[in-house]
Amino acid sequence: MKILILGGGIFLGAAVLRSALDRGHELTVFNRGRARSDWPQGAEAIVGDRNTDLGRLDGLRFDAVVDTCGYVPADVKKSAEALRETRSYCFVSSISAYASFRHAPVREIDPLADFSSLAPGDHDPAHYGAQKAACEAEVRAVFGERALLVRPGLIVGPGDRSGRFSHWPWRAMQGGEMLVPDLGDDEPLQFIDVRDLGAWIVRLLEREERGAFNGTGPVRGPSCAWSDLLAVCEDEAARRGAAALRVTPVAESFLLDHGVAPWSELPLWLPSSDIEHHGHSRVEIERADRTRLTTRPLEQTVAAVMDEGVPGEDDARRRGKLTRARETELLALWHQHEKPEAAP
């Protein structure tokens, strides 16, 4: 196939690129050339901004487009219209496009976020979910039944610039007493390794799949819970000779009372009392399973993150997350809370 990737420089785009090349497809990438300038053999790069330079694609024909970086509806509309002769347009959306997570499981047929009041050129990250829903609508308007809409959950693994999942392997490598939210053993987690997602997207194109697909994990393997993630991080860190780790579960009420921000300051944590996000890690993936999405063992993802090394405290990927100093402070308060001094 002749595949065009809008983006393709980093993370998911790079994973799609690598998988497509490995499977013998012809690749063209169209991006601004800011994050990457070196490309593997077999990939042609066209430098341009999707908002102003789509004319550089005039006269080129592709079997499929993979849009890995669209989130402004007006920009996605332009690219969809410019590439309307392409057989298939795969838009990488997000589970954030759903209107609600108050229920479970979350299915592809569930309503999407309302974007009726959203300006077409809105760049506000606070409207991310509605923007993705609006982008999907723009792709459907041009491609109709030829549209392929992939809605990933949290994308993790090597090259992740958000540091959300990576926070836990990094922290395990540092050893000592580690604060974790006390969620019990059965609270589920859902995420997908970027390499698995990239390979699956290429297979969807090869199979000429259409419609919407949730894309997260794990698939065809044991479910993942908080206890699994922590155990794998601890075991892998120990295997690498890291300092001993001691995990201390801390009550959610205590964390909330002390102003710890769920998901951002303490990544992946969404309080069990938060009914607005009840279905966030309970996304149905039966459609993806039927199209041969496979996800690798958690151990491989954790190991790949650790292979990249632990970044410094001033690294952008650690910005806004729980620092060691704040963690130490909270743990001291927690131990005092659990074992108050005896009354005189």
Same structural domain, 22 and 128: yes
Q: Is residue 285 domain-resident?
A: no
Q: How many domains does the chain have?
A: 2
Same structural domain, 87 and 197: yes
CA atoms within a 13 Å half-sphere pointing along the CA-CB vector of 264: 6
User: Is the pLDDT at 35 greater than 90, yes or no?
Assistant: no
Count of Cβ atoms closer than 10 Å to residue 211 Cβ: 10
Q: Is residue 185 domain-resident?
A: yes
What value, to the nearest 5°, has the Cα angle with vertex 120 and ends 194 and 134?
Answer: 50
Same structural domain, 148 and 171: no
Q: What is the mean pLDDT of residues 292-302?
A: 97
- C-alpha to C-alpha distance for 99 and 101, rounded to whole angstroms: 7
Same structural domain, 209 and 108: yes
Q: Is residue 290 domain-resident?
A: no
How would you class 260 by CB atoms within 10 Å of its CB: exposed for 0-12, middle for 13-18, buried for 19 or more? buried
Q: Is residue 343 domain-resident?
A: no
Same structural domain, 153 and 239: no
What pLDDT, on a 0 to 100 scale, did the predictor assign at position 339?
Answer: 77
Count of Cβ atoms closer than 10 Å to residue 255 Cβ: 23
User: Is the pLDDT at 344 greater than 50, yes or no?
Assistant: no
Same structural domain, 53 and 78: yes
What pLDDT, on a 0 to 100 scale, did the predictor assign at position 262?
Answer: 97
Q: Give the orientation angle of helix 298-307 with respect to helix 167-174, to 10 degrees.
A: 70
Residue 233: give the domain boundaries. Answer: 167-190+222-278+297-338
Same structural domain, 70 and 102: yes
Same structural domain, 177 and 251: yes
Domain of residue 200, CATH code? 3.40.50.720
Q: Give the orientation angle of helix 11-22 with respect to helix 194-206, to 10 degrees.
A: 50
First-to-last alpha carbon distance for the chain, in angstroms, is 79
What pLDDT, on a 0 to 100 scale, did the predictor assign at position 140?
Answer: 98
Same structural domain, 177 and 153: no
Q: Is residue 291 domain-resident?
A: no
User: Is the pLDDT at 342 greater than 50, yes or no?
Assistant: no
Q: Is residue 287 domain-resident?
A: no
User: Could you report the per-residue pLDDT of 101-124, keeping only the tens digit for each?
Assistant: 999 999 999 999 999 999 878 888
Q: Is residue 86 domain-resident?
A: yes
Same structural domain, 60 and 33: yes
15 vs 184: which has the higher pLDDT: 15
Same structural domain, 114 and 185: no
Alpha carbon 190 to chain centroid, angstroms:
10
- C-alpha to C-alpha distance for 5 and 68, rounded to whole angstroms: 7
Q: What is the mean pLDDT of residues 256-280?
A: 95
User: Could you report the per-residue pLDDT of 47-65, keeping only the tens digit for each?
Assistant: 999 999 999 999 999 999 9
- Ramachandran angles phi, psi of 17, nearest 5°: -55, -50
Do residues 174 and 242 touch, judged by C-beta distance below 8 A? yes
Q: Is residue 273 domain-resident?
A: yes
Do residues 86 and 110 touch, judged by C-beta distance below 8 A? no
Percent of the chain with pLDDT over 90: 89
307 vs 186: which has the higher pLDDT: 307
Same structural domain, 138 and 171: no
DSSP assignment string, 236-299: HHHHTTPPPEEEEEE-HHHHHHTTPPEETTEET---TT-GGGTTTT-B--HHHHHTT-----HH
